[in-house]
Structure 1
Amino acid sequence: MAIHKLHINDFISSDYELIAINSNWDDYRLAFFLNKTLDLKLFRDYDIELQTTNGKNLFSHFYFDDYKHDLSWHLISNKSEAAIKKQNNGLFSYLETVGYFLPEIKNADFILKIENTDSHFNCNKTIQEIEKIQGVITLFKIEQTKLKSKNNLIF
C-alpha cells in the first residue's frame, strides 16, 4: 500500500496579493475611502486575535466579498497596542506594548489582502487608485516570498 504524505505547503495558496498602506487615519476612515475609491463595500468584521511575543493582540479587520469579480478583500491593521500587567501593583503597573500582524513589515499601518486573484487582476492599477486617496501617505506591494509569517494570513 502506498503512503501519501501531505505537506503544509500543499495548502498554502499564492492566489492573493498583499498591499502595505501607511496612513495616519483611523481604520474605519481608511475603509470608507477605499470603499469610495475602489467601489467596494468593506465592513467591520471580527477582530483577528494573534498570540505574539508581547502577548495576545487584536487586529481590526474589514472584509468584503466581491461576487461580481470573484475577489475577497481584507483590510487588516498591522499594529496593535496592548497593556500587559506587571507584577507590582504600583502606579505604573501596566506596560504598553505594540504587536505587529506582519512583523517583517513594521513600517506599514495597514495590510490590504486581495484573495482569489488571477492573471487578469491588475495589482498596479489598484495601487494607482489607492494612491489618489488623500490620507494615504505611502503604499507598496508586498512580496509573498519574503514573508516569514505567512501563517498570520490564514484566517
Structure 2
Amino acid sequence: MAIHKIQINDFVSDDYELIAVHSSLDDYKLAYMLNKELGVQLSKNLAYVEIAIPEGKSAFSNYIFDDEKNDVVWTLIENKTTIINSNKQTTSLFEQVDITVFLLPEFKKADYLIKIENIDYGFDSESIVDKIQEIKNVTTAYTIDITNLKSKNNLIF
C-alpha cells in the first residue's frame, strides 16, 4: 500500500499579492479610506486571525471583501498586536508583561497588510499601491515579494 504525504506546501499557492501599509490610522478608518479610494467594500470580519506562540494566543483583527464579480478576495489585516503574558505567575498588576506579536516578523515596521487573493497575471498592483499612498496619514505602501517570505504560513487564514 502506498503512503501519501500531504505537506503544508501543497496548499500554499502564490496567486495572491501582498501589500504592506505604514499608517497611523486606526484599522476601521483605514478600511473606510481604502473602500473610498479603491472602490472595494471591506467590512469587519468577526473571526480574528489567531496565531499561537509559547507565551499565549494572539488575535489579529481583519477586514474582508469578497468581490464575486471578479472572483477576488481582499483582506486588510493588522500586522502587530499586543498580548498579556498569561503563562507567567504575577503577584502584582505592575508585573504583567505585554508582548508584541507580529503576523509577519520580517516586516515589523508595517502596520497593516493587504492580501489580495485569486488574482490573474494582468493584475496591476502598482496602481493599487499608488492609490493607497494618496490616502492621508498613510506614510508609505509597497508590495512584498512572497517567494522568500519565511512566515508565509501565517498568511493561511
Report the TM range for the smaller structure's normalisation.
Answer: over 0.9
What is the TM-score normalised by the length of structure 2?
A: 0.91
Question: Does the CA contact (< 8 Å) of 1:81 and 1:96 recur in 2?
Answer: yes
Residue of structure 1 in register with 2:148 after alignment: 146
Question: Does the CA contact (< 8 Å) of 1:54 and 1:99 recur in 2?
Answer: no
Question: Does the CA contact (< 8 Å) of 2:90 and 2:96 recur in 1?
Answer: no
Structure 1: state its 5+ residue gaps.
none
SS of 2:150's equivalent? coil
What is the TM-score normalised by the length of structure 1?
A: 0.92
Residue of structure 1 in register with 2:77 after alignment: 76
Q: Pairwise mapping of residues 6-21 of structure 1 onto structure 2 (< 5 A)?
A: 6-21=6-21
Residue of structure 2 in register with 1:39 after alignment: 39
- Is residue 29 of structure 1 aligned with residue 29 of structure 2? yes
Moved over 6 A (4+): none
Question: Does the CA contact (< 8 Å) of 1:54 and 1:98 recur in 2?
Answer: no
SS of 1:134's equivalent? coil
Q: Deviations over 1:33-62 (max 9, x none)?
A: 000000111000021111134421110110
Residue of structure 2 in register with 1:115 after alignment: 117
Measure how far apart 1:28 and its partner are: 0.3
Question: Does the CA contact (< 8 Å) of 2:50 and 2:57 recur in 1?
Answer: yes
Structure 1 65/91 Cα, relative in aligned 2: closer, same or farther at 3 Å?
closer
Measure how far apart 1:8 and its partner are: 3.3
Q: Which 10-residue stretch deviates more, 10-19 or 88-97?
A: 88-97
Residue of structure 1 in register with 2:92 after alignment: 90
What amino acid maps onto 1:88 in structure 2?
T
SS of 1:34's equivalent? helix
Structure 1 94/7 Cα, relative in aligned 2: closer, same or farther at 3 Å?
closer
Measure how far apart 1:88 and its partner are: 3.0
- Is residue 134 of structure 1 aligned with residue 141 of structure 2? no
Q: How many residues align?
A: 155
Distance 1:8 1:89 in 2: 42
Measure how far apart 1:6 and its partner are: 4.2
Distance 2:90 2:132 in 1: 47
Residue of structure 2 in register with 1:59 after alignment: 60
